[in-house]
Amino acid sequence: MTRDLDIIIAGGGRVGFQTAEILADLGHDVTIIEQDERLVSDIADEWIATVIEGDATNPDIIEQAGIEQADVIGALTGETGLNLAVCLAATELSPSIRTVARIDRAAGESYTRFVDAVLFPERAGARVAANEILGSDVQTLADVTGTLDIMLIRVTEGAPAAGKQLADVRFPEGTLIVSDADGNRIARPDTTLTPGSRYVVALESDVADEVMNLMRG
Amino acid sequence: MSGSQTRSPEAELGLLDATMIGMGAMIGAGIFVLTGLAAEIAGPAAILVFTLNGVVTAFTGLSYAELAASIPKSGGGYAFVREIFADLPSFMMGWMLWFAYMIAGGLYALGFAPNFLELLHVYGVVPPPDEVGAVVVPVVDAGVPLAFMLAFVAVLGLVALNAVSTAASGSAETIFTIIKVTILLVFVGFGLASPMFSGAEFQPLFPEGAGAVAVLPAMGLTFIAFEGYDLITTVTEEVQNPRENIPKAIFLSLIATVIVYLAVVTVAVGTLGAEGLAEAGEAGIAAAATSFMPTGLPIIQNGGALIVFGAVFSTLTALNAVVIASSRVAFSMGREGQLLPSFGQIHHRYGTPFVAILASAVVMLGSVALPTQSAGNMASLFFLLSFIIVNVAVIRLRRERPNMNRPYEMPFYPAPPVIGVVLNLVLAAVLVEYLIRTDPLALVLSVVWLLLGGVTYVALERLRAQPDHRPTDAETEVISEAED
């Protein structure tokens, strides 16, 4: 089933605009709701989305964005409360719509009771920044839920766990070595942590420093 | 991956390129093919016919400009209407526009054939067009008219070309358009200077018996000659500073086209006379040219050949434009889930909307079997109808979405779209009335197409109602699309 999604984005600031651009490039139809006149005119120059000028919490404005046909609404303004209000209003107007809200703190998971998904762009950005800073030795692959991370970690020569078999290393509770050295097999007790090779590791973030110590020295 | 259509931000079209795309699509076949037919109906008033059509379509041009500046979608009229209308009306809009482009393709192919024969005739390859009989195809037991064969082959060739390779860039379009306009200007220049023109006879302006009313059906028939500026709205993504340039390009291309048409029709009527043009039919302009262009030139021998070449070249480039345009409408409808999903898919090897092109080709190939006049009438009728919907879309958007950002706002709202709707309705009504009297075939086919649309719509609704696939998880889809 190929179908382009009809997407509404509330907030055409940095996050909203970049998101709209990516979605438009993927061929979806995007409508942006933005209050700030200056931003509206900037977005119009870029010509990626239809823009409705107004307050995204105003039901009348949401309706003008074509809420009945929309598949998804992403509330991406800088204010968590406003984003939740927009999503709730949208659900009220169009019960089957998928809602995504931008939040401004990590502890926002409980909001998924009201919306289908939340995002925390600062954290996602920080993750990428950390990946870039650390180069290819330590990379976060995915931010699953809560505080669980899936990472790609290169074992350093001379680190405590280097050259040992998994059975011989005591990783802290909340760590799971997922792959073997070349990423072809799931790790077994006899998997060796070869220096220079990279391993997929799932871990809870509060034990990350210990795991780093064991694998990176 | 062979070259797939990517959005290339650096391949930017300037105002000139955008204008040329509009002009190129308009100054295609309409003027070459339909001048003779318009003269047949309206006599020397054919000059008026083209001018008035320019005025009528300018109102819709305003609507297109406003919509294109505020709705950044490259689907042309269908995409704009889809924005505000419910499923059924937007489906019908797409359905009609798709048909209009396809029939226009047939019309251009039908215009190409006699002009091509004329070109061959100028160089003595074949006897004069009226003496070209039929080629006997060994497989079929009957003779097939050569012109029909040519039209068929032209459509087939361009469809094949577009099915396996992505469209030429806008800059090539600009060169083509400049060539076309230059040839027409040469025609006008020589025509004005020729002794035939000095004795030009524009009286009586209107044909006897019919009077000024004859202008209306002729307008209906030739309305398609101004179809093409809407193609500017299908390439908006590549235009620099679209909010400024799209409206400008629409108006510039319209104004320039009206001027060119006016000059060409004046010269054609002034030299060959309305009767002569009417006799020459689809090759009217070419016949006028051969009557006054200098002969004995090096290489091209007869100056008329240049104009005939212009006609051949124009009909082919316009045919190419509508092959692309028609498949884009079908493709957009497929993407929107208003036709089968396969219409909205890009071919894995060729990178083209393959199914959409092939489906468009079927109707186009069928339509070359029509008389030229019927094809012109049907294409014009469907453009008139779809332009009415575009104007209504502007009014609805203004009323229901007052807060929508409109980088370009038409002046004197609501007058232009209302006038546009009224004038287009009048022309459509006159055309339908004219068809009832003279061309029932075209009318029946039009009605059949609309009914077929209704059946298709209901069938697709049924199909979709079975399992409700709303893509809640579009991941797989996104990955496959990310490649194009």
Mean pLDDT, rounded, of chain B: 80
Query: Which of these ranges, A27-36, B26-35, B140-149, B365-374, has the smallest mean pLDDT?
Result: B140-149
**Tens-digit pLDDT profile for residues B5-56:** 444 334 567 888 888 888 888 887 778 888 888 888 888 888 888 899 999 9
Residue A3 scores a pLDDT above 60: yes
Chain B partners within 8 Å of A48 (Cβ): 72
Chain A partners within 8 Å of B470 (Cβ): 71, 96
Residue for token pair 């068929």: B152
* Whole-number percent of chain B with pLDDT over 90: 17
Check residue A151 and give its pLDDT: 86
Chain A partners within 8 Å of B478 (Cβ): 26
Mean pLDDT, rounded, of chain A: 85
Nearest chain A residue to B400 by CA distance is: A64
Task: Quickly list H helices, chain A.
Answer: 14-25, 37-46, 59-64, 80-93, 121-134, 208-216
pLDDT mean over B64-82: 84
Q: Which of A22-36, A93-107, B34-48, B420-434 has the highest mean pLDDT?
A: B420-434
Q: Which one of B73, B405, B477 would you mutate to disrupt binding with A, by most A Cβ within 10 Å of its Cβ?
A: B405
Per-residue confidence band for B135, with pLDDT thresholds at 50, 70 and 90: very low
* Whole-number percent of chain B with pLDDT over 70: 82
Residue B376: partners with Cβ closer than 8 Å, 6 or more residues away: B33, B34, B37, B107, B221, B222, B224
Check residue B299 and give its pLDDT: 61
Q: How many residue pairs from chains A and B have C-beta atoms closer than 8 A? A: 80
pLDDT mean over A144-157: 80
The answer to whether the Cβ–Cβ distance between B401 and A64 falls below 8 Å is yes
Return the bridge partners of A148, or none.
Answer: A204
Residue for token pair 């305003």: B62
Check residue B392 and give its pLDDT: 93
The answer to whether the Cβ–Cβ distance between B335 and A40 falls below 8 Å is no
Q: Of residues B96 and B350, which shows the higher confidence score?
A: B96
**Tens-digit pLDDT profile for residues A76-86:** 998 988 999 99
Report the C-alpha gap between A202 and B148 in whole angstroms.
70
pLDDT mean over A126-131: 84
Query: Which of these ranges, A177-181, B138-142, B323-327, B375-379, has the smallest mean pLDDT?
Result: B138-142
- Say how many residues make up chain A: 217
Return the bridge partners of A75, or none.
Answer: A10, A101
pTM score: 0.78
Q: Which one of B91, B243, B404 would you mutate to disrupt binding with A, by most A Cβ within 10 Å of its Cβ?
A: B404
Residue B57 scores a pLDDT above 60: yes
Reduce the DSSP state of residue B332 to 3 states and report it: helix
The dihedral over CA atoms of A46, A48, A49, A55, expressed in degrees to the nearest 10, equals: -40
Reduce the DSSP state of residue B248 to 3 states and report it: helix
User: B355 vs chain A: nearest CA distance in angstroms?
Assistant: 14
**Tens-digit pLDDT profile for residues B416-472:** 999 999 999 999 999 998 889 888 888 999 999 999 999 999 999 888 877 554 444
Residue for token pair 């393959």: B354
Check residue B296 and give its pLDDT: 64
The answer to whether the Cβ–Cβ distance between B403 and A64 falls below 8 Å is yes
Nearest chain B residue to A4 by CA distance is: B335
Residue B1 scores a pLDDT above 80: no
Check residue B390 and give its pLDDT: 92
Chain B partners within 8 Å of A1 (Cβ): 341, 469, 471, 477
Closest to B187 (Cα-Cα) out of B262, B241, B263: B263
Residue B238: partners with Cβ closer than 8 Å, 6 or more residues away: B7, B8, B11, B12, B13, B170
Per-residue confidence band for B225, with pLDDT thresholds at 50, 70 and 90: confident
Residue B472 in contact with residue A71, Cβ under 8 Å?
Answer: no
Check residue B456 and give its pLDDT: 92
> Shortest CB distance from A98 goes to which of B344, B472, B484?
B472
Residue B128 scores a pLDDT above 60: no
Closest to B193 (Cα-Cα) out of B303, B292, B269, B300: B292
Chain B partners within 8 Å of A40 (Cβ): 405
Residue A198 Ramachandran class (φ > 0 left, ψ -120 to 50 alpha, else beta): beta
pLDDT mean over A188-217: 86
Residue A21 in contact with residue A97, Cβ under 8 Å?
Answer: no
Residue A19: partners with Cβ closer than 8 Å, 6 or more residues away: A9, A74, A76
Report the C-alpha gap between A153 and A158 in whole angstroms.
15
**Tens-digit pLDDT profile for residues B351-392:** 778 888 889 999 999 888 888 888 888 998 999 999 999 999
Residue B11: partners with Cβ closer than 8 Å, 6 or more residues away: B169, B170, B238
The answer to whether the Cβ–Cβ distance between B469 and A1 falls below 8 Å is yes
Report the C-alpha gap between A109 and A88 in whole angstroms.
16
Residue B447 Ramachandran class (φ > 0 left, ψ -120 to 50 alpha, else beta): alpha
Per-residue confidence band for B2, with pLDDT thresholds at 50, 70 and 90: very low
Residue B388 burial (10 A CB sphere; 0-12, 13-18, 19+)? buried
Query: Which of these ranges, A45-59, A87-101, A102-116, B148-162, has the smallest mean pLDDT?
Result: A102-116
pLDDT mean over A56-75: 90
- Say how many residues make up chain B: 484
Per-residue confidence band for B137, with pLDDT thresholds at 50, 70 and 90: very low
The answer to whether the Cβ–Cβ distance between B344 and A25 falls below 8 Å is no
Report the C-alpha gap between B35 and B82 in whole angstroms.
35
pLDDT mean over B197-222: 73
Both tokens of residue A39? Answer: 């931003």
Check residue B476 and give its pLDDT: 36
- Strand A50-53 to A29-34 pairing: parallel
Report the C-alpha gap between B318 and B18 in whole angstroms.
16
Per-residue confidence band for A98, with pLDDT thresholds at 50, 70 and 90: very high
**Tens-digit pLDDT profile for residues B268-286:** 888 888 888 888 877 788 8
Kindly provide the residue ranges of all beta strands, DSSP E only, lying in chain A, ordered along the sequence: 6-10, 29-34, 50-53, 72-75, 98-102, 117-119, 138-143, 148-154, 175-177, 198-204
Chain A partners within 8 Å of B344 (Cβ): 2-4
DSSP state of B301: B
Check residue B168 and give its pLDDT: 55
Chain A partners within 8 Å of B404 (Cβ): 50-53, 64
User: A96 vs chain B: nearest CA distance in angstroms?
Assistant: 10
Closest to B317 (Cα-Cα) out of B186, B172, B146, B150: B172
Check residue B473 and give its pLDDT: 40
Both tokens of residue B7? Answer: 């959005």
- Strand A175-177 to A198-204 pairing: antiparallel
Q: Which one of B78, B237, B401 would you mutate to disrupt binding with A, by most A Cβ within 10 Å of its Cβ?
A: B401
Check residue A73 and give its pLDDT: 94
Both tokens of residue B75? Answer: 């689907």
Check residue B484 and give its pLDDT: 34
Report the C-alpha gap between B84 and A52 in whole angstroms.
13
pLDDT mean over B117-123: 78
Query: Tell me, what amino acid is at B443?
Result: L
Report the C-alpha gap between B446 and B380 in whole angstroms.
11
Report the C-alpha gap between B176 and B75 in whole angstroms.
23
Check residue A143 and give its pLDDT: 62
The Cβ of residue B186 has, within 10 Å, a number of other Cβ atoms equal to 16
